[in-house]
Amino acid sequence: MFYKSIRFKVTIVYMAILAITLYAFSTILYHQVSKSLYDNMDTLLSSRAEGIVSAIGTYWATEKLGTMRYGADALASDNVDFATIAQRWVGATSKDPKLLNIIVQIFDAKGEIVASSKNTQGITSVSEQTLFAALQGKSTFDTLTSSFPTKKAQAFRVFITPAIQNDSVEYIVQVASPLDPIANALNSLKVTLFVLFPITVLITGVTGAFLVKLTLRPVDSMIRTIHGITAENMKMKLRIPNTKDEIQKLAETFNDMLARLEHAFTSQKHLFEDLSHELKTPLTILKGEFEVVLKKMRSPGDYEDVLKSSLEEIDKMTRLVENLLMLASLEARQAMPEKRTLDLNGLLKSVADNVKRLAEIKNIALAFSGKSGISVIGDEKELKQLFLNILDNAVKYTPEGGRIDISVVEDMRSTRISVKDTGVGIPSADIPHIFDRFYRVHSARSSYGFGLGLSIVKVIADAHNGSIKVESSPGSGTTFIITLPLK
Ligand SMILES: Nc1ncnc2c1ncn2[C@@H]1O[C@H](COP(=O)(O)OP(=O)(O)OP(=O)(O)O)[C@@H](O)[C@H]1O
Ligand SMILES: [Mg+2]
């Protein structure tokens, strides 16, 4: 699996990019160096040739002057003199350091060789074409291979140029230099590059792999920790590396996710426990009643009583299951609730009608205040459920002879509905929990109730982007304030 690891992939990509770059760099470098070495050689040869032409010119002029002084007819014996002069000049300059490594040959205007430096290295003949071109007055560069019988063939760079006076070619100078030094230099450059190339790629690869390993070390330790995390030990957390980079962020995000998952798991566990408990009580009651009634023959009236009370227990269980189902479906829904403009007063009145009978039984006064014509936006069924649960609580937790006030206030941005009762109130320590599932403050007092009503209220209010506030003082009453946004 190593070849699939990030470390391997990054290192390989890294090395490949470096190899390509180095290869391109080396090739360009080699060609640049080679071109400039050859260009330099050409410049050197042409400047040496120019120097020779002017030196021979001076030498010849001096000689002519000397001959004239001795009375000979210099002009008539130009050619003979030139050959001797050229030979003498070549002999005299054979030790010139400027001409070291440069082979000089001089041809007369007919193309006959008249003088050449000592070591011609087999560069005796130039091609007829170049010689002809020189006779025509053209200078040319050429590359020749020596034909020296005892030595191995050697390449030479040759420059041939005519010396022109009064529009006619007087003689031709040919200079040549072996290309060996250049070839040697280029060869050693090639070897250096060739050796350095793999070494550089290898060193960078190894360093790269090490760096990647160093960078990914926290990830390795994270993987080990994550392996140890199960549903049971979600308290286990990743150690956050203090690197301030993506890896630290990853660890933090993972820990956040763990915390959320842990919360979800715990609440799921509690839900199961609570649910089992809630169902167990009525089932135990049912079982007990049946067992007692079955002990002996009873009168039809006794059976009817047992069946009636059983039916109550079954109703309770049905309500529990219905409430749970409602909560589950509200929480699981993906889409927003249907949003319609609703007449708030009408909605509250119809909800109040539902609890009126119970309030009357307990002699609780139900009052409504607020201007009419206020509307809210939302799902009618859900908002009715919300207010029903709150009013149901108000009636349930208010003793006989109490009072419930419903009032509506509207401002620029929201509508506030408050339900105020004169009931038993909620201790402030319990207030943060009353919206949790199965949480009951007054369970002993209430004849029924599972602690699901306010959980449903909270889910609906959240879905409508609303909020709920509770103000309560035990013994004197509770106020629930629901705020719904206008839009
Ligand atoms: N108006 C109120 N006055 C006093 N206590 C209240 C009031 N409303 C809610 N409570 C307390 O908050 C708890 C949670 O309320 P919730 O409506 O969720 O559950 P419930 O009324 O007990 O049961 P359910 O609504 O599921 O039948 C209640 O058990 C009660 O103790
Ligand atoms: Mg309730």
Running DSSP on this structure, what letter comes out for residue 335? S
In a domain, 191, yes or no: no
Give the domain-ending residue among 330, 356, 382: 330
d(CA 256, CA 262): 10
Q: Whose CA is nearest to atom 11 of ligand 1?
A: 441
User: 218 in ligand 1 pocket by Cβ < 6 Å?
Assistant: no
Together in a domain, 258 and 343: no
User: 450 in ligand 1 pocket by Cβ < 6 Å?
Assistant: yes
Together in a domain, 326 and 357: no
d(CA 472, CA 61): 129
Give the domain-ending residue among 185, 202, 219: 185
What is the chain's pLDDT, residue by residue, as a tens digit (487 residues)? 777 888 889 899 999 999 999 999 999 999 999 999 999 999 999 998 998 888 888 877 787 777 666 555 544 445 446 777 788 777 777 777 777 778 888 888 888 888 887 666 666 566 778 888 888 888 889 888 876 666 677 888 999 999 888 888 888 898 988 898 999 999 999 999 999 999 999 999 999 999 988 888 888 888 888 888 887 787 788 888 888 888 899 999 999 998 998 888 888 888 888 889 888 988 998 999 999 999 999 899 999 999 999 998 899 899 999 999 999 888 887 667 788 899 999 999 999 999 999 999 999 999 998 888 888 999 999 999 999 999 999 999 999 999 999 999 998 889 999 999 999 999 999 999 999 988 888 765 555 688 999 999 999 999 999 999 999 999 899 999 999 998 7
In a domain, 318, yes or no: yes
In a domain, 136, yes or no: yes
Q: What ranges in 119-179 are assigned the alpha helix state H? A: 128-135
The sign of the CA dihedral 55, 61, 64, 66 is negative
Domain of 113 in residue numbering reads as: 2-185
Together in a domain, 146 and 16: yes
List the CATH number of the domain containing 92: 3.30.450.20
Distance 440 CA to ligand 1 centre (A): 6
Together in a domain, 345 and 268: no
d(CA 362, CA 441): 21
pTM assigned to the model: 0.59
User: 426 in ligand 1 pocket by Cβ < 6 Å?
Assistant: yes
In a domain, 241, yes or no: no
Q: What would you report as the CA-atom Rg of the chain, rounded to the nearest whole angstrom?
A: 55
Tally of structural domains, the chain: 3
Together in a domain, 313 and 349: no
Q: Which residues pair with 420 in a beta bridge?
A: 405, 479
List the CATH number of the domain containing 465: 3.30.565.10
> How is 445-480 classified by DSSP, letter by letter?
T-SS--S-HHHHHHHHHHHTT-EEEEEEETTTEEEE
d(CA 363, CA 395): 10
What size, in residues, is the chain? 487
How much is the pLDDT for 125?
Answer: 61
Together in a domain, 124 and 149: yes
Together in a domain, 322 and 272: yes
In a domain, 365, yes or no: yes
List the CATH number of the domain containing 324: 1.10.287
- What are the tokens at 68? 């004239």
Helix axes 6-69, 78-92, angle to 10 degrees: 130
| Ligand closest to the CA atom of residue 443 | 1
How much is the pLDDT for 316?
Answer: 87
176 vs 42, 123, 406, CA distance in Å? 10, 8, 116
- Pocket perturbation via mutation, ligand 1, pick of 454, 473, 479, 480 by most ligand atoms within 8 A of CB: 454
User: 393 in ligand 1 pocket by Cβ < 6 Å?
Assistant: yes
In a domain, 213, yes or no: no
Give the domain-ending residue among 185, 204, 225: 185
Q: Whose CA is nearest to atom 12 of ligand 1?
A: 434
Together in a domain, 319 and 356: no
In a domain, 236, yes or no: no
Together in a domain, 351 and 416: yes
Together in a domain, 325 and 383: no
* Atom number in ligand 1 closest to CA 446: 22
143 vs 91, 154, 237, CA distance in Å? 26, 10, 78
In a domain, 232, yes or no: no
How much is the pLDDT for 114?
Answer: 83
Together in a domain, 166 and 35: yes
Together in a domain, 149 and 293: no
User: 102 in ligand 1 pocket by Cβ < 6 Å?
Assistant: no
